Amino acid sequence: MRPTPDQPIGIFDSGIGGLTVAHAIRQRLPNESIIYFGDTAHLPYGDKSEAAIQAYSVRIADVLLKKGCKVIVIACNSASSAAYELLKEYARQIKIINVIDPMVHWVAEHHKQQRVGLIGTKRTVQSGVYHRKIEEVNQGIELHSLATPLLAPMIEEGFFDNTISHEIITRYLADPELEGIQALILACTHYPLIKEEISTYYRHQMPILDSATIVADALYHYLAAHFLLTRKTESQHQFLVSDYTESFEAATRIFFREQVHLEKYSLWN
C-alpha cells in the first residue's frame, strides 16, 4: 500500500538522543504526528555488533510499520551505519531516511577541500561509512574520525555542562587525530546536547555540524516532493521505549525541550 499524507512519521534511536532529531522535525513540520521509538533496553548501540543492531532495527521498523508510519527516520548514526541498507530492503513500501546521507551532502556542499573532523560511537567510526560516502562525493574532503564511546552514555546519564563532561570532552578533542580540522561533524544524535561545550573548547571558532536540522530539512523536502505533507492542522505524538525508567522520562525535557510521557513497549513479545 502506498503511504498517504496523514500517516505519522516514525523515528527511532537507541535511546533518547534521537529526540534531538525529533525536536528539529517538530520545529520544521509542526503539523506532522510523530511516533518515536527509543530502544532504551539495548542502549548504547555504539558498542553493539552490526548483527545485533540490525536485529533491533528490523524489530523496531516492524512496530513503526504496524503503527502505519509513512516514513521512518533512523535518528541514530550507529543504526544508520549498521542497518540502513537492510531496512531499505525490509521496509520497501516506505522511505527510510538515515542521518548520514544528509550530513554528507551538507559537508560536500559547504566544506569542499577541507580537513573535517568527526566524532561518534565505535560502531559508526569503525563502519567507515562516512569515509566511504565522503569519498564518493569526491570534493577533496579529508576526513579524520575519532570514536568517543564515553560521550553517549555520559549524556544519557545527564552528565553535561559540568566538570566531568568538560574533562572528558577536552581529552577527546585534544586527540592528535583532530588536529588542524576546519569543521567538526557530530556523528551521534546525542551530541547536540554538548554542542555548546564542544564549541567553547574551540573558542567558538569552529563550525560544529549536527545533523538534527539538516535531517529535518531532508525529510521536509522528501515529503513535499512526494505530496506526503499532512493536511491536518494538529499533531499527535507518541513516545515508546523498550525499557522505562523515570530518569529517561525526565531527560526528555532536555532532549525534546519538553517533558513527554514515555510508554513502555516490549520489543520481543
Residues in contact with ligand DGL by the rule CB under 6 A: 13-15, 17, 43-46, 76-78, 121, 124, 152, 188-190
- Which of 76, 209, 212, 228 is the catalytic position? 76
Pairing of strands 71-74, 34-38: unpaired
Question: Cβ of residue 260: shortest distance to ligand DGL, in angstroms?
Answer: 17
Question: Quick one: 152 or 168, whose CB is closer to ligand DGL?
Answer: 152
76 is catalytic: yes
Q: How far is the CB of 189 from ligand DGL (least distance, A)?
A: 4
Catalytic residue selected from 188, 193, 212, 241? 188
Closest distance between ligand DGL and the C-beta of residue 170, in Å?
21
If the CB atoms of residues 25 and 43 are measured against ligand DGL, the closer one turns out to be 43
The nearest distance, CB 149 to ligand DGL, in angstroms, is 8
Residue number with CB closer to ligand DGL (13 or 32): 13
* Shortest distance, position 39 Cβ to ligand DGL, whole Å: 8
Supply the DSSP string of the chain, one letter for each residue.
----TTSPEEEEESSSTTHHHHHHHHHH-TTS-EEEEE-TTS--GGGS-HHHHHHHHHHHHHHHHHTT-SEEEE--HHHHHHHHHHHHHHTTTSEEEESHHHHHHHHHHHSTT-EEEEEE-HHHHHHTHHHHHHHHHTS--EEEEEE-TTHHHHHHTT--SSHHHHHHHHHHHTSGGGTT-SEEEEESTTGGGGHHHHHHHTTT-S-EEEHHHHHHHHHHHHHHHTT-----S----EEEESS--HHHHHHHHHHSSS----EE--TT-
- Residue with Cβ nearer ligand DGL (45 or 256): 45
- The residue sitting closest to ligand DGL, measured at its beta carbon, is 46
Catalytic positions: 76, 188
